[in-house]
Amino acid sequence: MQLARDSKQIGNIIRRARKKQHLNQTQLAEKTGLRQATVSQVENGQPSARIGTLLALFAALDLELLVAPRSKEWTIEAGGGF
């Protein structure tokens, strides 16, 4: 299981999963009905990505979104927050 706490980490998870499946951004975009530019923006950590876009990418890559309480050691001082 991979942990993501910000948009850049989510983008990296999507990029790694896409490459593991030997897909380029255009192929992933075609699987989801998104534009290649949108896939690129998400992979580069654009913080304004819509939840529907992320869910479409997760589904196309056979990934799930799991929401859990934040661990205690993750604080704003340690790099958390928005």
Domain assignment present for residue 69? The answer is no
Domain assignment present for residue 21? The answer is yes
Q: What is the mean pLDDT of the chain?
A: 89
pLDDT at 2 (0 to 100): 85
Question: Are 32 and 60 contacting, i.e. CB atoms less than 8 angstroms apart?
Answer: yes
DSSP class of 6: S
Report the SS3 class of residue 10: helix
Whether 19 shows a pLDDT value over 60: the answer reads yes
What is the mean predicted confidence (pLDDT) over 29-51? 97
Q: How many domains does the chain fold into?
A: 1
Domain assignment present for residue 2? The answer is no
Could you tell me the CATH number of the domain that includes residue 25? 1.10.260.40
Domain assignment present for residue 71? The answer is no
